[in-house]
Amino acid sequence: MGGFIVLLVIVVVVISWVIGIYNRMVTIRNRVKNAWSQIDVQLKRRHDLIPNLVEICKGYMKHERETLEAVIKARQMAVDIKGDNVEQVAKMENMLSQTLKSLFAVSENYPDLKANQNMLSLQEELTSTENKISFARQHYNDQVMVYNTKLEVFPNNIIAGMFNFVKSEFFEVETEAERKAPEVKF
């Protein structure tokens, strides 16, 4: 009878231990998902600002149709990405950042556009949004690092394998040129 009680206590302790590890990993995985949704909110805000930016630029930049169309196309491709595919979203958002950089570079040739109040307001909003995206990316990557570390350390890696936890991807910039923030001087 005494051996049965000891065995029962050991089984209860092991089950409690597994449940504790599982619950911690679920909590961290949910933090990663929340951090990703914060990036998504900021990206949507950025996507919503771009049509206004393009409309203002159209009136001044009659000869820059190709640049404006590239921005519109890049924005639409970024908006069309669905789901949690971090690599695809990062690729499309990086492409959008590059087209915005081109637009801002070309707009330097239009002094009236640079002085437009609506353009200045959009510039401020876009700069603020870019900063928020940057902070959201940093927070997301921090959460991914914590989560991935938990999945890889012993004994969590055993429990993670048993319950099919998979590593998350970092939201990374692809090229050195994309690592630079878009310059929005007017």
For 71-129, the pLDDT digits (tens) are: 889 889 888 887 778 888 888 888 888 888 888 887 777 777 767 777 778 878 888 88
Cβ–Cβ under 8 Å, residues 130 and 182 = yes
Q: What is the pLDDT of residue 88?
A: 87
Both tokens of 13, joined, read 């302790």
pLDDT tens track for 116-142: 777 778 878 888 888 899 899 999 999
Residue 151 has pLDDT above 80, yes or no: yes
Going by the DSSP 8-state scheme, the letter that residue 153 receives in this structure is S
Q: What is the pLDDT of residue 141?
A: 94
Q: What is the pLDDT of residue 186?
A: 43
**How many whole angstroms from its chain centre is CA 50?**
18
Q: For a pLDDT cut of 70, what percent of the chain falls above it?
A: 90
Which contacts of 156-165 are long-range, i.e. CB under 8 A and separated by 24 or more positions? 156/21, 156/24, 156/25, 159/18, 159/21, 159/22, 159/25, 160/25, 163/22, 163/25, 165/25, 165/29
pTM of the predicted model over 0.85: no
Q: For a pLDDT cut of 90, what percent of the chain falls above it?
A: 40
Average pLDDT, the chain: 85
